[in-house]
Amino acid sequence: MMLANPDLGLDMMDLMRKARLAAASGSTSRDDWYNSDIFRILLAMGKFSSDNDVALSISADGFEAWRQGGFQG
């Protein structure tokens, strides 16, 4: 549904295209997840073979993962 959204879809696919091209060119930038070693490994494994294969990230800052006992994820 996000890729079908006219406001989000094109930008998401453009970002993935740029990330794939940067990784293929040997860029050593580490400024975000798309420039990380993990992304490059997944890309080499074929997990992102087209611009339609996008990665979503979520953040759980402050989320107490276990019975609210003070442990946070």
18: confidence class by pLDDT, cuts 50, 70, 90: confident
72 found inside a domain: no
Report the distance separating Cα 66 and Cα 73, nearest Å: 9
The DSSP result for 5-66, as a single string, is -TTTHHHHHHHHHHHHHHHHTT----SSGGGSHHHHHHHHTTS--STT--------TT-B-S
Q: Tens digits of per-residue pLDDT, 26-73?
A: 777 766 777 778 888 888 899 888 888 877 766 666 666 566 555 554
Report the distance separating Cα 55 and Cα 34, nearest Å: 9
11 found inside a domain: yes
- Whether the model clears a pTM of 0.75, i.e. scores above it, the answer is no
Domain count, the chain: 1
47: containing domain: 1-52
